[in-house]
Amino acid sequence: MRQFLYDRVRPIILYALAGFFVIWTVAPVLWIATMSVQPEINYVSVPPKLSLADVSLRWYGEMLAQTDVAAALQNSLIIALSTMVLCLVFGALAAYPLSRLQLPRKNWFLTASIVSRMIPSMVLIIPMFLIMRQLRLLDTHLSLIIVYTTFLLPYVIWMLKNFFDQIPYALEAAARMDGCTRLGALFRVMIPVAGPGVVATAVFAFIGAWNEFLFGLILSTRFAVPITVKLSALVSSTFHSDTSLVAATGMLAIIPVVALVFVLNRYIVRGLVEGVKY
Amino acid sequence: MDESKFGLLLTLPTIFLVVVFLALPITYAFFMSLNQIELTISPDWDFVGLKNYTGLLTDKRVIDTVPRTLYFAGLNVIVTTLMSLCLALILNEQFKGRNWIRVFILLPWAVAPVVSGVMWRYMFHQSYGLINALLTSLGIIDKYVVWFDNPTVALSIASFATAWKALPFSTLIMLASMQGISESLFRASKMDGANIFHRFRYVTLPHLRPTLIFVVVLQIISSLQAFDVIFTLTRGGPGQGTVVLNYLTFVNAFERLSIGAASAMSIMLAVLIVLLSGLSIYISMGRKGKAKG
Amino acid sequence: MSRVSLRSLAKSFGPVQAVKDVTLEIPDHAFVTLLGPSGCGKTTTLNMLAGLEKVTRGEIYLDDQAVTQWAPHERGMAMVFQNYALYPHMNVFGNIAFALQLAKVPKPQIKERVQKVAKALELEALLERRISQLSGGQQQRVALARAMVKEPKVFLFDEPLSNLDAALRTRMRSEIKKLHQQLHATSVFVTHDQEEAMILSDYIAVMREGLVVQYGPAEDVYRRPQDIYVATFIGKPRMSTIAGHLRVNGQDGIMTFTTDGINLSWPHTPQDGSINAIDTDVQLGIRAEDARVIAAPSSPLADTFTGEVSLVEPLGSDTFVEITRGPHAITTRVEPDRRLKPQESVIVQLPRHKLHFFDAKTGKRINL
């Protein structure tokens, strides 16, 4: 009898809870997605009159036609991709000796990379502004690429190191016996073998750079404004005719990363878990 | 080439970046924190020693942020920990559709904090919020409520939005930790007649303890760093209602242009976070040790 | 094919001396095994020979040429690794061809050489497969092929069999042995498994704590272990030892071994006729196949003692019996049809010429 009850009740509870979590997770996204494809009048009405007949992508079209939003998306893409590439290259170069070689003060390196992950961006933002001004890099892609790379590298190094650690030493030894130099073994064997981990790390760096806000807000003014900053400006400005436009911009800001996460979710889950292993 | 020299060479780009764009700015920030710099008045630096730090303790605006930050952090910790524990327990079960749910719940992690601020703002919006619409249609409220007029409610929403974003990551590390519990332990406890609650209480929970503490510390840290979400959600309003510690630092630096005081605050914050992070690492080291033993 | 010579090799990792002083002459065509427990420095020695680890001190010669500072691929050696270490991101062909590609061998030639090796190891049908699609035995053969295709002067094996299941291990062991009989390539094999070492090797170097304890033909190492460590490390079951006192009378050459409960004596007639008087504490060692369980003798024999059967382990082909007398125990091999029961009282004979004596203090062999 108890077993019977358990078998009957268990799926009900499981699905009810799972349903709650799915709603909790999806509702905020779904709501602005809805807003982004409906005229404002529909959801401002009490009660809201959402209608399938009114669904339109014109607010997306309108925002993309606005040069500053399109430019912000392009800026974010350039910055995030460059950050990702730099993080992978520098990260792999640094993670390899940490994982494989005898290095003087290796523990010092590892501690430093952990400590640098803890530094809140708020501490750095004022000096960074002054340094970038000194370097005449304010409002350039490069300034944001440098800052994001510096900030993400400790995470990236740590993730890559953990992935490299899982590769048997013998594999690299085999590559060297076969005629690879150490660097050759890194690029021809270690990185391809750590493939899924490298993909996860790359996505992590890309998303980290794409989603960053504070540095973007302070270090960019006109030409290098990333989409997150553009969106926050739109939200607080009253110079737009229609909230659907803001909602559409919000969607544009998350669509690339959400797509990445959905396509590569397996890698990402592993990468995230790996990133917090000390 | 000598192995260690070679290794050092490979880390040079990283060392360069970290020194120039991490160590240098921190040192810079520290020096600024020892000076009075009021850019609204003059660009001059006026050395005042530790006065900015002692000033923090008596500054009413700083003191006011403390209960707010504590409330924000407390709610965030409770919501995130309980929800991620519950979700991880569910995802650790076998049922149809589980893999789909695993993918779906990653969503908030991918969403930029700024965008999640916008999303929650629109969820609770006074004239087009989903929550108002739902509550009205259910007959719980008669007319739309201006949620963001109430500081406590606004702060709670900010906290929920932060917890919403933190859920996937905390769930994943809890799930990873749960999957480290050996199946034979469950079988043994079943043989001993333990029911599902006993198993949770005596097998799962003790195993998860370090991970739970880790999640708690992580959420405290993220609460101390809360900024992006609040920026688009409430802009600190109503009044100063959602100005938490980190947000005040921003306001001091970029609205009041009190660079010295803002630097001192940020340094204090950094010290606090480094200490807490040290704690969390210490805990997760224990986590690893446990997993091995 | 090549001679290899290691001269006073040493390797330190920080304060840890992994290899203290290793000198080995490896003749051409020989199959040499470095044998020892984990942490004895055998793998480090092999890695230094391969060029994977830098040498802290000492020299490595290949056919009288110093190669100590050469990069791994310049030494003309190939290595077969534990767990195969195949490149999981390449197919079988890619794995075998990798070294040749790196050496910029022309493509048609690569193809030809890979085909040839694949044919020899029956891998032709598998060349396009991914590594993850192969069985354990197939992976091992790919690992061998990858080494063979380079036509190396020296083959190195780093415990290639240690993670295989019992059946596969036996099969791969024979495969490696056959390979060596065909190619006659100088081979250095590292293992902690003494049985593997005995079966495969021409020469065995037993290592312990970074030093070579004994190096010689496999038969010698088994028959004349130079100290008690080698004696008890090599051979299965383990050589039985009994602590006691050994006395050799300088005049009549009577040799006696006494310990509580056991008194044995033998006539002692060395080949050269000279008798050295000995009076010292020793460990007496005897292998299971050398100690004999005999029927009650008609007249009491000086080289026997009476003991009690404490454990019977029938293996089918042989039966091993543990016999105890007071605190002492020895293991002997008996015919499987000889059915002994626990607690049964038996007489054990320890023949003079099968005995090993080791100094109780130094552990060194006492040559009589």
pLDDT 10s digits, C302-321: 888 888 999 999 888 889 99
Question: What does the pLDDT look like over A194-210, one tens digit per residue?
Answer: 888 899 899 999 999 99
Q: Which chain A positions have a beta carbon within 8 Å of C158's beta carbon?
A: 170
**Band of the pLDDT at B1, cuts 50, 70, 90?**
low
Helix C42-50 crosses helix A169-177 at what angle (to 10 degrees)? 30
3-class SS at B264?
Answer: helix
Residue C271: per-residue pLDDT: 66
Q: Which chain C positions have a beta carbon within 8 Å of A179's beta carbon?
A: 73, 99, 102-103
Do C308 and C180 lie in a common domain?
A: no
Kindly state whether C320 is in contact with chain A, defined as any CB-CB distance less than 8 angstroms: no
Flag whether pLDDT at C1 surpasses 70. Answer: no
Q: A229 Cβ partners below 8 Å, 6+ apart?
A: A72, A213, A216, A217, A220, B114
Yes or no, beta carbons of C78 and A177 under 8 Å apart: yes
Dihedral sign, Cα of residue C131, residue C132, residue C137, residue C138: negative
Kindly state whether C52 is in contact with chain A, defined as any CB-CB distance less than 8 angstroms: yes
| Residues forming a β-bridge with C247 | C256, C279
Using alpha carbons, select from C334, C273, C266 the residue that is nearest to residue C301.
C266
Do C92 and C226 lie in a common domain?
A: yes
Yes or no, beta carbons of A26 and B107 under 8 Å apart: yes
Rounded to a whole number of angstroms, the distance from the CA of A79 to the nearest CA of chain B is 15
Question: What does the pLDDT look like over B8-44, one tens digit per residue?
Answer: 888 899 999 989 999 999 999 999 999 888 888 888 8
Let me know if residue C365 belongs to a domain. no
Q: Which chain A positions have a beta carbon within 8 Å of B118's beta carbon?
A: 32, 231-232, 235, 246, 250
**Band of the pLDDT at C298, cuts 50, 70, 90?**
low
Do C280 and C205 lie in a common domain?
A: no
Dihedral sign, Cα of residue C334, residue C339, residue C343, residue C347: negative
The residue among A109 and A153 whose pLDDT is bigger is: A153
Yes or no, beta carbons of B224 and A265 under 8 Å apart: no
Q: What is the mean pLDDT of residues A243-263?
A: 92
- Chain C neighbours (≥3 Cβ pairs under 8 A) are A
**Band of the pLDDT at A148, cuts 50, 70, 90?**
very high
Provide the strand spans (E) within chain C. 4-13, 16-26, 31-35, 57-62, 65-66, 77-80, 154-158, 186-191, 203-208, 211-217, 240-248, 254-259, 262-267, 278-286, 292-294, 304-314, 319-325, 328-334, 345-349, 356-359
Residue B192: per-residue pLDDT: 78
Mutation site, C84, C89, C154, interface A, largest A CB count within 10 A: C89
Kindly state whether A195 is in contact with chain C, defined as any CB-CB distance less than 8 angstroms: yes
**Amino acid at position B216, single letter:** V
Rounded to a whole number of angstroms, the distance from the CA of C89 to the nearest CA of chain A is 6
In this structure, how many other beta carbons lie within 10 angstroms of the beta carbon of residue B187?
10
Nearest CA in chain B to A3: B195
Chain position carrying tokens 């043994």: B188
Q: Which chain C positions have a beta carbon within 8 Å of A170's beta carbon?
A: 81-83, 85, 158
Q: How many residues does chain C have?
A: 368
Kindly state whether A191 is in contact with chain C, defined as any CB-CB distance less than 8 angstroms: no
Yes or no, beta carbons of B102 and A269 under 8 Å apart: yes
Q: What is the mean pLDDT of chain C?
A: 89
Residue C164: per-residue pLDDT: 80
Domain B64-292 class in CATH: mainly alpha
Domain that holds residue C260: 240-359
Query: CB–CB of C285/C241 below 8 Å?
Result: yes
- Chain B neighbours (≥3 Cβ pairs under 8 A) are A
In this structure, how many other beta carbons lie within 10 angstroms of the beta carbon of residue B186?
14
Do C193 and C274 lie in a common domain?
A: no
Q: Which chain A positions have a beta carbon within 8 Å of B22's beta carbon?
A: 116, 119, 124, 150
Choosing from C210, C233, C256, the residue where a domain stops is C233
Report C:60-89 residues touching A (Cβ under 8 A). 71-73, 77-79, 81-83, 85-89
CA-to-CA distance for A138 and A122, rounded, in angstroms? 18
Nearest CA in chain A to B177: A273
CA-to-CA distance for C232 and A220, rounded, in angstroms? 75
**Band of the pLDDT at B95, cuts 50, 70, 90?**
confident
The residue among B159 and B280 whose pLDDT is bigger is: B159
CA-CA distances (angstroms) from residue A87 to A3, C13, C52?
54, 31, 29
Q: Which chain A positions have a beta carbon within 8 Å of B11's beta carbon?
A: 93-94, 97-98, 103, 109
Q: Which of C13, C71, C85 sits opposite A173 (nearest CB)?
A: C85
Let me know if residue C367 belongs to a domain. no
Rounded to a whole number of angstroms, the distance from the CA of A209 to the nearest CA of chain C is 29
Q: What is the mean pLDDT of residues B108-118?
A: 94
CA-to-CA distance for C155 and C136, rounded, in angstroms? 21
Q: What is the mean pLDDT of residues C93-115?
A: 92
Flag whether pLDDT at C16 surpasses 80. Answer: yes
Do C97 and C50 lie in a common domain?
A: yes
Do C201 and C329 lie in a common domain?
A: no
Residue B248: per-residue pLDDT: 93
Residue C35: per-residue pLDDT: 93
Rounded to a whole number of angstroms, the distance from the CA of B135 to the nearest CA of chain A is 10
Choosing from C216, C233, C250, the residue where a domain stops is C233
Q: What is the mean pLDDT of residues C269-298?
A: 82
Q: What is the mean pLDDT of residues C270-274?
A: 68
Residue A144: per-residue pLDDT: 96
Q: How many residues does chain B have?
A: 293
Report the CATH number that the domain containing residue C306 is assigned in CATH: 2.40.50.140
Residue C250: per-residue pLDDT: 75
Highest mean pLDDT among A37-51, B147-161, C326-340: B147-161
Residue B293: per-residue pLDDT: 31
**Band of the pLDDT at B286, cuts 50, 70, 90?**
low
Yes or no, beta carbons of A94 and B13 under 8 Å apart: yes
CA-to-CA distance for B96 and B104, rounded, in angstroms? 14
**Amino acid at position A106, single letter:** K
**Band of the pLDDT at C255, cuts 50, 70, 90?**
confident
Domain parsing of chain B, residue ranges: 64-292
**Band of the pLDDT at A136, cuts 50, 70, 90?**
very high
Helix A227-236 crosses helix A195-211 at what angle (to 10 degrees)? 30
Q: Which of B112, B113, B266 sits opposite A122 (nearest CB)?
A: B266
Mutation site, C73, C90, C155, interface A, largest A CB count within 10 A: C73
Flag whether pLDDT at A132 surpasses 60. Answer: yes
Residue C32: per-residue pLDDT: 95
Residue C212: per-residue pLDDT: 93
Flag whether pLDDT at B288 surpasses 60. Answer: no
DSSP C364: B
Flag whether pLDDT at B289 surpasses 60. Answer: no
Kindly state whether A207 is in contact with chain B, defined as any CB-CB distance less than 8 angstroms: yes
**Band of the pLDDT at B144, cuts 50, 70, 90?**
confident
Yes or no, beta carbons of A175 and C98 under 8 Å apart: yes
Residue B290: per-residue pLDDT: 44
Q: What is the pTM of this model?
A: 0.84
Flag whether pLDDT at A253 surpasses 90. Answer: yes
Yes or no, beta carbons of A258 and B111 under 8 Å apart: yes
Q: What is the mean pLDDT of residues A72-97?
A: 95
Instruction: Domains for chain A: give ranges and CATH numbers.
Output: 60-277 (1.10.3720.10)
CA-to-CA distance for A163 and A142, rounded, in angstroms? 29
Question: What does the pLDDT look like over B9-19, one tens digit per residue?
Answer: 888 999 999 89
The residue among B75 and C292 whose pLDDT is bigger is: B75
Q: What is the CA radius of gyration of chain A?
A: 23
Mutation site, A126, A186, A204, interface B, largest B CB count within 10 A: A126
Q: C323 Cβ partners below 8 Å, 6+ apart?
A: C293, C307, C308, C309, C310, C329, C330, C331, C332, C346, C348
- Chain A neighbours (≥3 Cβ pairs under 8 A) are B, C
Do C272 and C226 lie in a common domain?
A: no
Yes or no, beta carbons of A214 and B6 under 8 Å apart: no
Q: Which of B7, B232, B254 sits opposite A101 (nearest CB)?
A: B7
ipTM of the complex: 0.90
Rounded to a whole number of angstroms, the distance from the CA of B53 to the nearest CA of chain A is 14
Task: Report the share of chain A in percent with pLDDT over 70.
Answer: 96
Kindly state whether A120 is in contact with chain C, defined as any CB-CB distance less than 8 angstroms: no
Task: Report the share of chain B in percent with pLDDT over 90.
Answer: 41
Let me know if residue C368 belongs to a domain. no
- Asked if omega into C336 is within 30° of 0 (cis), the reply is no
Yes or no, beta carbons of B127 and A94 under 8 Å apart: no
Kindly state whether A175 is in contact with chain C, defined as any CB-CB distance less than 8 angstroms: yes
In this structure, how many other beta carbons lie within 10 angstroms of the beta carbon of residue C254?
14
Flag whether pLDDT at C299 surpasses 70. Answer: no
Q: Which chain A positions have a beta carbon within 8 Å of C83's beta carbon?
A: 168, 170
Flag whether pLDDT at B221 surpasses 70. Answer: yes
Do C254 and C184 lie in a common domain?
A: no
Question: What does the pLDDT look like over B148-183, one tens digit per residue?
Answer: 999 999 999 999 999 999 999 999 989 988 888 888
Residue A1: per-residue pLDDT: 60
CA-to-CA distance for B159 and B244, rounded, in angstroms? 11
Mutation site, C79, C113, C146, C158, interface A, largest A CB count within 10 A: C79
Flag whether pLDDT at C294 surpasses 80. Answer: yes
Yes or no, beta carbons of C102 and A192 under 8 Å apart: no
Task: Indicate the number of domains in chain C.
Answer: 2
Q: Which of B144, B270, B284 sits opposite A123 (nearest CB)?
A: B270
CB pairs under 8 A between A and C: 60
